[in-house]
Chain A
């Protein structure tokens, strides 16, 4: 238990460092703002109950908000992601998976294309809400949509890269 808490705290720190020290400082154009720290919300185990998932997401969002002066944007979009994940997890056969030693959503359970759809859907929901709240104007919806789309591509690419680097054996 304590080992798990330590492990996930370390992974959260790693995700935050990657986000805040690298991606938040990159300037790759106004339509390309990947946010790979949400990787942390994908690697949380199935055994975590959905309330805990919701609050973990909210907390993660709040930390990022506090460190990047974004007043609630990350917290809002992370809780939406957690809601989305609790929906999809309820539709997956997580008990069988856990008996087989699969602790979290990954390509071993969903297949690569399934996993790709899973993270791209949830990331897009997160990014869309984030950029929409950031603009806070309906007149900017087209720009919000394209920004969310391109940033999601960047986020997915970095998440898959991180999975390969840190979880080569377990997940992919």
Chain B
């Protein structure tokens, strides 16, 4: 017993260091296994207001960019108006093809108070939280494309796992070639590009082809813009393309976000829970 006590007394400093390291490592490991962040709720009420104030100052410098983003969004919406079409071809994907179907998605506008792009795991903080009905797992869009998935929620703020996060995955489709496989993820290098994995090298893809979210995605509505194909190569011996997709969302200049409420989500979730684990 004395030996143990002496050991503790002699090495107390290293034991304290070890405990602090363990505490941090526990946090890191929790994040990496997709759990909620430990101090998010408590720290957010303080830091959220600090960030809000900072963002409202920064916002002034980007008014021009924000206006351009919103005009681009308006234009895209105008082109989707049903009256713009001659015929409704249902044999292939068309945005908003059936105007009589009931609405599946509702959108909530939120302001971005923080968006980082220079880490491996980036997050976006938005100013709507559980009071507004936001829940973890909801999709978040920017005016021009995908933004991320809600990771954690406090009363007034939400932490969104950005598409610029090595943990982010989304199912893509390329309507031009009828492609609906693989997944889009980020390699942590350039904040303007994500990587599209799983396109067979015999597919005929071309530069500039639009990449949209597919209906296989459990979070995102179908047909939201991810980006455009910028370049593609076939790495030696591989049977798949290595595709760089230029993101349509400018993450370093994001100011508006839309949280997506899926009306069918509870039904899908309860069905998924009913799956019997083998």
The bracket for how many chain B residues form the interface is 35 or more
Question: CB of B137 within 8 A of chain A?
Answer: no
Give complex CA distance A143, B30 in Å: 23
Per-residue CB contact flags for chain B residues 103-116 toward chain A (1 = under 8 Å, else 0) read 00000000000101
B118 engages A27 (CB within 8 Å) = yes
- Nearest to B27 among chain A residues (CB) is A72
Known A-B contacts A21-B54, A67-B50; the reply to A72 vs B121 at CB < 8 A is: no
**Is B31 at the interface (CB under 8 A from chain A)?**
yes
Q: Smallest Cβ distance from B36 to chain A, in angstroms?
A: 10
Given the interface contacts A30-B188, A51-B13, A67-B47, does A72 sit within 8 Å of B25 by beta carbon? yes
Bound CA–CA A133/B121 (angstroms): 11
| A33 CB within 8 Å of chain B | yes
| B252 interfacial contact with A, CB 8 Å | yes
Asked if B39 is an interface residue, CB under 8 A from chain A, the answer is yes
Interface of A is mostly: helix
Assess A136 versus B28: contact at CB under 8 Å? Given A30-B190, A69-B159.
Answer: yes
Interface residues of A in 60-102 (CB under 8 A from B): 61-62, 65-73, 75-76, 79-80, 82-83, 86
A50 and B13 form a contact (CB under 8 A): yes
Complex Cα distance, B11 from A51, in Å, reads 12
Given contacts A51-B13, A51-B16, contact A27 B252 (CB under 8 A): yes
Interface magnitude class on chain A = 35 or more
Known: A67-B51, A79-B20. 13 other contacts (CB 8 A): A24-B116, A27-B252, A33-B118, A54-B20, A68-B116, A68-B119, A71-B37, A71-B38, A75-B27, A76-B21, A76-B28, A80-B21, A133-B28
A-B contact pairs, 6 of them (CB 8 A): A28-B118, A66-B43, A69-B114, A69-B116, A71-B38, A76-B25
Binding site for A on B (CB under 8 A): 13, 16-17, 20-21, 23-28, 30-32, 37-39, 43, 46-47, 50-51, 54, 114, 116-121, 123, 125, 159, 166, 188-191, 252
